[in-house]
Chains A and B, each alone.
Chain A
């Protein structure tokens, strides 16, 4: 079996086990999923409160920002559902329980990713999808085949980009065991940034999330194509179609970084 198929199989088995264990307490599951929904919903409530005072933010209407928000939140929700447990890696390195995963006959990445698989994270995904649906209903868009295609493409590639950030962040924890919060800055911080239009932010910050950590490809560039809005930094129009390439390159890079991190791992020993 190829390592990828083996990994997916292990991931499926472990996550299925955690789902079964979650479903043993259905009320508790429903409550945590609802809580997860509510926590993220407050971010959108804050935007609604802002729009109770203004008609536009950074030149964008509420419906347009809802589109950016929904796309970012849904893409992030997908990655979070699949890999949200990765930030527990630092703890496993510290207390030595990572060793248990090393001796099992399954890829470590799949085991770490599926560890304590939290189906309740579906709450965040549901919230993002809801806002995205609202935006698609309210927005007045001249739909063309490429624009229609761009919506699912954007969500999938965005999830891929965030997945790479999750894996890269976890690899960093092999080195800095106590720094799970740094990962939060890029994951939660990243999705918060993308909820607002690029016109809100300083040029250098936009440059950073376009060329250094290419989060702009999650939703800004494809979404602005759908909305028919100018891109930031006067980028050419074809960049809206590059998210698949960016996601693939980032995932490959994250794989390399992960392997390097794993190789540098020294057990606590005791």
Chain B
């Protein structure tokens, strides 16, 4: 029991350290907020034109569509949709062999990086999510959750989204054990992340089979689902189904990550670091 509490404290410290680390770069955060706001503005007008032409497209009214744009900007770095999370660092450690040092630590590799990524995501949500969202709400008529429960429901969906996002990027990073160079996989993951998360266009606007396919992939748990929960499109059993979908993908991908980690670390021993 004591060991367990100690472990928890360790990971909590990693999370806090990671949060602080990102909080240090104030100028970069301000610059990022500015860029998210500019892109939000441009996208919001294109969505307005699209929903002017086809009111109710994808089941959203105009206000919901605009809210979706600003949610996308707020969650872009939280979910690391275009990369920029821990994976670059982990790939570098695998490539240089520093990973051998990490494996000697009395901490689990996957949990360690998850703890760090949670700290990063928490900072990005506060540091880069709130200001663009407030700006969007001042300029446009946005649809916000009606009560505290609505906000809580969104927060749970966002946390589950971070979990899925981490699980995907952990797999991307582990591929470096076999490929030694993570550039190609990172790029493919970034492409899939922006396209299938609904960052370019909400997945419920995708036509026919492509839409169904996209909505079944894990990336839909990163933006489309938290956004739908925020917009009040999923309540009651639909909300539970959403959480189950997110949890299912998180569990499946984290398990694969565990298995791969076990195989990969055995490789390190074979290679001698």
Contacts and interface: CB of A to CB of B under 8 A. Distances in A.
B217 interface: no
B181 to A, nearest CB: 8
Contact of A53 (B28, B39, B207): B207
Interface in B16-69: 25-28, 30-32, 34-35, 38-39, 41-42, 45-46, 48-50, 53-54, 57
A178 B54 contact: no
Count class of interface residues, chain B: 35 or more
A32 B27 CA distance: 30
A58 B49 contact: yes
A57 B31 contact: no
Given A46-B200, A49-B206, A205-B45, A57 B30 contact: no
B57 to A, nearest CB: 6
Interface in A172-201: 176-182, 184-186, 189, 192-193, 196, 199-201
Interface in B179-199: 181, 183-184, 187-188, 190-191, 194-195
B205 interface: yes
B186 to A, nearest CB: 10
A35 interface: yes
A52 interface: yes
A56 to B, nearest CB: 6
Interface string A19-48: 000000000100110010011001101100
B38 A189 contact: yes
Nearest to B53: A54
A181 B205 contact: no
B53 A57 contact: yes
A45 B184 contact: no
A181 B6 CA distance: 39
B201 interface: yes
Task: Determine chain A's interface SS by DSSP, over half rule.
Answer: helix
A31 B184 contact: yes
A50 interface: yes
Given A50-B205, A180-B31, 18 more contacts: A32-B183, A35-B188, A39-B187, A39-B191, A50-B201, A53-B54, A57-B49, A58-B49, A179-B30, A179-B31, A181-B35, A185-B35, A185-B38, A186-B38, A192-B39, A200-B45, A200-B48, A205-B45
28 contacts: A28-B181, A31-B183, A35-B187, A42-B195, A46-B200, A46-B201, A49-B207, A50-B50, A53-B205, A54-B50, A54-B53, A55-B53, A57-B53, A179-B28, A179-B31, A181-B34, A182-B34, A184-B35, A185-B35, A185-B39, A189-B35, A189-B38, A189-B39, A196-B42, A196-B46, A200-B49, A201-B42, A202-B45
Interface of B: 25-28, 30-32, 34-35, 38-39, 41-42, 45-46, 48-50, 53-54, 57, 181, 183-184, 187-188, 190-191, 194-195, 200-201, 205-207
